[in-house]
Amino acid sequence: MRHALEDLKRDPAIVAEELARALYADIGKAVKKQKSKATAVLVPAYGLVEDGTVTNERQASFLEDFLKLADPRLAHRVQPSQRRLGDSGDKSREQGDAGAGSRR
């Protein structure tokens, strides 16, 4: 999935919805249509949003289309990340911990 997002960023000719359908079909074939395995891709897909991998609207559209295929019962709204890849927010937590320690 991460490779598909990079392909979208690199090649403007790729249609996000078509790529989502193709990737979902490939995954379906790989897991032999076992629903539990097919829906297991939801967690990593949401992880790409959380970790800052989705950086533009085309990538967000692709991931939204993919998630709709994986779980059509839910409305999936994906927004490009406002933070950089790998920025987990640990610095703010460390500062909060340091502040708590200085009050002791």
The per-residue pLDDT for 100 is: 44
Task: Give residue 101's pLDDT.
Answer: 45
> How far are the Cα atoms of 15, 41, 43, 44, 99 from residue 29, in angstroms, in the given order?
21, 14, 19, 18, 52
**Which domain range does residue 93 map to?**
2-102
Domain count, the chain: 1
Supply the pTM of this predicted model: 0.68
Can you give the pLDDT of all 104 residues of the chain as single tens digits?
A: 899 999 999 999 999 999 999 998 888 888 776 766 656 777 788 888 888 888 899 999 999 999 888 888 877 888 887 765 555 554 443 444 444 444 43
Which of 69, 66, 62 lies closest to 12 in space, CA to CA?
A: 62
